Structure 1
Amino acid sequence: MKRYFFLAFLVINAIEAKTQNKSLPISPKQVLPASGVVKPSISKTGLNPAKDLTVIIDSVVDNSTSTNPDVKVYFSVANSGVADIDIKNINVQCYLDGAPAGGYGLPSSLFNNTSSILHSGQKWNDRIYSTGLLFKVTQVNVTNPLQPLFVNHTYTYSIKADANNLIAETDEGNNTASISIAGRFVPKNKDLAISGLKVEYNAVSKEYNVSCSIGNIGATNIDLNTLKYWDCVNGGGYVGYVVPIILGNVTQASCGASVCGFSVRLTINAPGNIISPGQVVTASGVAYGYHGACGGPLVFTYVLDPDNKTGDQDLSNNSVTLSIL
């Protein structure tokens, strides 16, 4: 009799343990998906009868501080319909509080050795198919150094798949996924920042087209008229500029030569003399007269307000450097 009672006790406990395991809540995924070559499946419950893409936000990594905004969002694109979908070359658009905040494409090179076809119930992200590449399409940096997420404000960040509407779908509403992100950046009273330095070589003129952006990430207006300097141009001596500029320098690593005497300044292209908090403007120019005679990489360096005429309270974000071959 004791033997039967003990067996019954074990069966009852096993049933209770199984029931308890089923009822455990599923915690949010904190670890990114591992690399592999098999497209993971999603729930096939309630699939639409034709083509239908869905954006899934996998995780959010927020390492922001009061001085350094750093938020990354990881997402996947899923086929929630019953028909096959080729997602190669579709565009993904991001929005911050409804305003465009960068776009991303899914170029064919992402699908090396792997089909770009999503079958019914499958989802895709580049961590699964192209983890060896130098860029990550499905990792988006929410924060922009020129437009940080300010403290005491909650932002809505949205990701939309197939933003150029290449694929006719039965439900366009689930192409967008949104999350809320709390800002942590505490602005200083006066703070200009520079970012996004680009250098393009013109093989015909043998000159370099240079551009970047500057933004006011402080709390008060800043008068750009203070950023007017005397600068050297084309080896012909120093001249004064009536427009705000950013001073620059180009050196060549192999010989340490500098183009002092040639113009490498950038003109600030602002609609007015005042740059207000949150405003971003561009700057552009041409690096004349430098043809890379010494060999080796060219190093372009630009410094915004090096003499701190504006009273900038954080000069750590006022310079950019780019090395090109």
Structure 2
Amino acid sequence: MASVAIPLSDPANRHPEQQYLDLMRAIWETGSERIDRTGVGTRSICGAMLRFDLANGAMPLLTTKRVYWKTATRELLWFLTGETNIRPLVLQGVKIWNEWPHARYVRETGDAISLEDFVARIAEDEDFAARWGDLGPVYGKQWVDWPTYRYRPDGLYEKGEGINQVAQVIESLRASPGSRRHIIEGWNVAELDRMALPPCHKTYQFHVAGEGADARLNCLLYQRSCDVALGLPFNLWSAALLTRMIAQQVDMLPGELVWMGGDVHLYLNHAHLIDEQLSRLPQGSPRLEITRRPETIFDYRIDDFVVHDYAPLPPISAPVAV
């Protein structure tokens, strides 16, 4: 099957998380089995959509397994710094990007150092981290410092000032809320070959519904490639969190998160996770409180975010495909 339509949740009877579980089941039962870049193999469908209402603090935080939302939040805050080296994440105990630079180090040096020892060296040795911890111009670099080049009279080009897309979107939301150009784009074709991993969650478009004090900020995220079991729970949280942060900065109410996936897949070695998670029922309604309004979108800290009413079922571990 090439594509699948995921039914919208009935707000009267269905938990919003059921959309995610329906998507997981549809992929596992009807997806095309394929050999992918990682060699692990997937079941994949083309095209899916999920919608989540963010009103009254609601967040798409999965309850059928524990999602480490603080880890996802630290990653988002790292993106907003424009940093591309994993060391700031490592020092906070965030592990989600470690495999890619480790694999590059082993491949290029022939040193079969363990992942644990590699990460410890990143933390302890700044020079080593500078050489081996960089991921290339990944998400944050494109979000806040998109490279530009100016044409010179001699026919050559020189490097110009980088574009802070996040700051520009916030300004455009304030100045022209009805615009259809509130976009943050990560897919810089000219720099894909320098990235440890080309952006999966690549395009964010913001939409304002209503006016004045009733204005609601919606976000549509297009994700070209989506690991539904491990990646999507983080992606949904992060996109909703970014929307909440921007809404606060532009004095709007949180509206709706609309997620759209292109190649939407499950890895074949995640069968135990999928079977276990599909046997569970969603429970509760987690809410996010942002306790402080900083001066800019770039000044939030991890302590500014508090989640209420989150009592998830236990985590389910599975390997990351690199």
- Fold in common (TM above 0.5): no
**Per residue, is there more helix in 1 or in 2?**
2
TM-score (norm 1): 0.21
Please say which structure displays the higher CA radius of gyration: 1
**Per residue, is there more strand in 1 or in 2?**
1
Higher relative contact order (CA 8 A, sep 6+): 2
